[in-house]
């Protein structure tokens, strides 16, 4: 069960309550024609669909780190909200083929603009999906739950 599935959206903790994570992720979204769309990117190694994620940036909040990762990996301009939507686990593949288990805290980020030029532009694909389709495409069950149940209307204002 995902972190977000256990806690009602209005009671989801903010950054200080996600200390058990090693990485920070961004759930990048937009509203188009009255529907929420989620931006997924491909991983560099396997080409799987994922959300932008990475290591916390020294001197940044978790939400700030999520915004930086979203720009570097997907060319997203926007500011992540300081609300942890949930946590998911995955195995980060190492050069020798083994996996290192990591936990990722996910923060919502409304996309204001997508840049054509960004640090990892030539290394990844990016595409918009419905919440349902995005959840079908990612591998991690807890991330599926986070994507499927995400509702920006429930974010604190």
* pTM (2 d.p.): 0.85
- Architecture of the domain delimited by 3-151: Alpha-Beta Complex (3.90)
For residue range 4-53, what is the model confidence (pLDDT) as tens digits?
333 334 343 333 345 456 899 999 999 999 999 999 999 998 899 999 99
Give me the DSSP letters along 46-81. T--EE--EEPPPTTS-HHHHHHHHHHHHH-EES-B-
| Cα–Cα distance measured from residue 63 to residue 112, given in angstroms and rounded to the nearest whole number | 16
The token duo for 84 is 């942890």
Domain assignments of the chain as residue spans, ordered by start? 3-151
Residue 21 Cα distances to 18, 35, 65, 94, 96, angstroms: 6, 30, 13, 19, 24
């Amino acid at each position: 069960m995902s972190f977000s599935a256990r806690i009602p959206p209005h009671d989801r903790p903010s950054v200080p309550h996600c200390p058990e994570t090693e990485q920070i992720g961004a759930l990048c979204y937009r509203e188009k024609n009255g529907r929420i769309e989620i931006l997924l990117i491909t991983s560099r190694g396997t080409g799987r669909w994922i959300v932008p994620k990475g290591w916390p940036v020294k001197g940044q909040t978790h939400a700030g780190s999520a915004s930086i990762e979203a720009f570097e990996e997907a060319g997203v301009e926007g500011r992540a909200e300081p609300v942890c939507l949930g946590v998911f686990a995955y195995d980060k593949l190492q050069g020798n083929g083994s996996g290192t288990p990591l936990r990722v805290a996910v923060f919502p980020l409304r996309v204001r603009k997508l840049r054509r030029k960004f640090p990892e532009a030539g290394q990844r694909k990016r595409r918009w999906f419905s919440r349902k389709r995005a959840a079908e495409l990612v591998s991690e069950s807890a991330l599926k739950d986070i994507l499927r149940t995400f509702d920006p209307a429930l974010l604190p204002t």
